[in-house]
Structure 1
Amino acid sequence: MQGVFERIMTTPHKPQHLYPRYSQRDKSETNSPRFVPNPHFFTTIVGGQWHTYSCSVWHGASTITQAQENKLNIFAKKMQLKKGDRILDVSCGWGGPISYFCKQFGVEGVGITTVPEQYIYAEQRVKENRVQADIRFQHWQELPEDEIYDAIYADEAVVNLADAQGFFEKCKRLLKPDGKLVIKELHFTHSTHAPKKNKPRCLANAIYGFTGKYRTLHEELQLIDNAGLQLENIDQIPIQNYWITVHDQWLRALEDNKGFLCHLTNAKYVKNFSLCLYGYLRRFNNDVFRLHMITASPKGQAN
């Protein structure tokens, strides 16, 4: 009898409804326990020291912590971090990356999130790491524009923003003239992979709160250009890194800790979460996505 994994991996890909179905005014819906279970649910699955809930980079790494640090070091290089810099982490998650950058590079950090559970966890984490980081329960639209940054980064967070164009415009106003914006995102390999709005929603919708709006690389670059930001570099990260992260780390951790995770949430949530991850593996296998890191700056642009 064919197992769940084999069924998912052999089913032809169909575009899924991954577009946002909420505005900032009703963001409290996506912050409910339905979408944000106990923080230990995610930290158990993603593992490692820094708990980065996105693709890690596995070249030369033998552990998840090393793979997470590989990715974070690429971010640091692109941001050109130096001691005393002030950086902004958009959608700071559980506080791992901002703690790492502050600890390793001597920078001062601000991390923002609209998820109460993440805010509490991340705030405690930066205190435990004794780093200069300010964790805020704040939406990016609410960031004061008299606070300027040397670098802004977002690790697979722009896809969850209802107003990506407004976000890039905000980044331009918040960056120093020689500052850096560095984002890492999955992009469709072709526009035909984009979902039709009348298609049935997939499991990811129920788990992630209808927040994912994937786009092609050229669409992302157009938004950056429209904001008056100057493109500096595009790096493609082999999608195999995502396969290893999801298949060898997250799904294995889920299976190894299924009882504990069911206790934190419930059996149905754990099953759906597992199926959602297998669904992403199928998309990686079917050449639906590429993974890019984009660096831009306001340098040389007219106000």
Structure 2
Amino acid sequence: MLINSELSKKDIMKDPFLALGEAYMDNVIDFQGSIQKIIESVYKNKDSFLNKAHLFEKLYKITSHSIKKSKKDIEHHYDLGNDFYELWLDRTMSYSCAYFKNEEDSLYEAQLNKIEHILKKLNLRPGDRLLDIGCGWGELIITAAKKYGVKALGITLSNEQVKKVEERIEENSLQNQVEVRLIDYRELLDTGEKFDRIVSVGMLEHVGRKNIPTYIKDVSKLLEDGGVSLLHCITAQIESEPNQWIKKYIFPGGYIPSIRELAYNMGENNLHLIDLESLRLHYKRTLECWASNFENQLDEIKDMKDETFIRMWRLYLNACAASFHYGVIDVHQFLVTKGLNNDIPMTREHLYR
């Protein structure tokens, strides 16, 4: 670590997460070698601040998540421009944990694996109504419609994502099978629509701590009796607010729920947890691929973004990779049914055929 100018001891003592992040963004400090490995080395020290986030939780206010505020938070991160994300994501434009079946899988292959893994878990049938809450750039709903013959609705709060999904629906001639709407999941309840299958990948992290019970309850209301839902999200061991640097610069309004928090709310809403799988090391590798792609496209990114943004994004991708490798977060897929469903396969064998 290179220290280019004096760091405020007061800032470090008050909030080392924010102090470290802003110091790197402003080039007050710099790193030689792998940022990911440097941060991992701090995580390996059990007495480091990275392992004592609870000591700073009094600084972290629990933010409100009105529909208007949620839309603004999503726009902050996801409306940076499709051209920006296209530079370093894979061809599917999947911005969530991939699934590496083999060491030699490319990021693109791993993202296709992830989508197929999820669709197999959902046990789809032709004609099923599938809802994707936080549908991203649409790869999952388009694949589900083409391969499994479902009628799919994707919802998002990102204008840029809606634009891209609409283009892809038209390109694939799926206007009668796939739809995308700019709408909050809470607003969807007012339509009275019900779905046989509901999936959500990497969206729950934006719901907020206070809204976890609301989100789970609304999924239950939107799901037909006997319906199946898969929730794919980052998880924490215990409940705590994300650090201020992440909330200020990367994911305003973000919150990572604990497994027990989610399982409790599922039980309270007649959602039976039938499968739970950790993909932690898959996310570490996904983030390493994104960080590498980001650096390989730096000349093009410099034409779009300033140096402070580039340093911020570099730290975000590498710090997240370190967090999944040696840190305090995980990513899980929760598979639930509304009430009992005896048609779900009794083993996981079908997932690996």
TM-score of the alignment, normalized to the shorter chain, above 0.5:
yes
Q: Secondary structure at the match of 1:11?
A: helix
Q: 1:22 to 1:113 in 2, by over 3 A?
A: same
Greater helix content: 2
1:92 to partner: Cα distance: 0.8
The aligned residue for residue 314 of structure 2 is: 274
The aligned residue for residue 85 of structure 1 is: 128
Q: Distance in 2 between matches of 1:30 and 1:126?
A: 26
Q: Is the 8 A contact 2:131 2:195 kept in 1?
A: yes
The aligned residue for residue 242 of structure 1 is: 283
The answer to whether structure 1 residue 159 and structure 2 residue 225 are counterparts is: no
1:140 aligned to which of 181, 185, 204: 185
1:109 to partner: Cα distance: 0.6
Q: 1:265 to 1:204 in 2, by over 3 A?
A: farther
Q: Distance in 2 between matches of 1:240 and 1:125?
A: 31
Q: Within 5 Å, which residues of 2 pair with 1:181-200?
A: 181-188=229-236, 190-191=237-238, 194-195=240-241
Q: Within 5 Å, which residues of 2 pair with 1:253-268?
A: 253-268=293-308
TM-score (norm 1): 0.88
Q: Secondary structure at the match of 2:285?
A: helix
Q: Distance in 2 between matches of 1:51 and 1:128?
A: 15
Q: Distance in 2 between matches of 1:34 and 1:299?
A: 36
Q: 1:20 to 1:81 in 2, by over 3 A?
A: farther
Instruction: Show CA shifts across 1:224-272 (max 9, x none).
Output: 11222122221223x221111111x201110111121232333321221
The answer to whether structure 1 residue 288 and structure 2 residue 328 are counterparts is: yes
Letter in 1 for 2:181: R
Letter in 2 for 1:260: E
Q: Secondary structure at the match of 2:231?
A: strand
The answer to whether structure 1 residue 112 and structure 2 residue 155 are counterparts is: yes
Instruction: Show CA shifts across 1:130-150 (max 9, x none).
Output: 222110010001114531111
The runs of at least 4 aligned residues of structure 1 exceeding 4 Å deviation read 16-20, 31-35
1:219 aligned to which of 261, 271, 285: 261
Please, which moves more after superposition, 254-263 or 14-23? Answer: 14-23
Q: Distance in 2 between matches of 1:104 and 1:155?
A: 19
The aligned residue for residue 351 of structure 2 is: none
Higher relative contact order (CA 8 A, sep 6+): 1
Q: Distance in 1 between matches of 2:238 and 2:118?
A: 27
Alpha carbon RMSD of aligned pairs, Å?
2.4
Q: Is the 8 A contact 1:145 1:173 kept in 2?
A: no
Q: 1:203 to 1:231 in 2, by over 3 A?
A: closer
Q: Distance in 2 between matches of 1:165 and 1:34?
A: 24
1:32 to partner: Cα distance: 4.5
Q: Which has the larger radius of gyration?
A: 2
The answer to whether structure 1 residue 232 and structure 2 residue 274 are counterparts is: yes
1:69 to partner: Cα distance: 1.4
Q: Is the 8 A contact 1:78 1:295 kept in 2?
A: yes
Q: Distance in 1 between matches of 2:310 and 2:265?
A: 36
The answer to whether structure 1 residue 124 and structure 2 residue 167 are counterparts is: yes
1:217 to partner: Cα distance: 0.9
TM-score (norm 2): 0.76
Q: Distance in 2 between matches of 1:28 and 1:185?
A: 19
Q: 1:225 to 1:201 in 2, by over 3 A?
A: same
Q: Is the 8 A contact 1:98 1:133 kept in 2?
A: yes
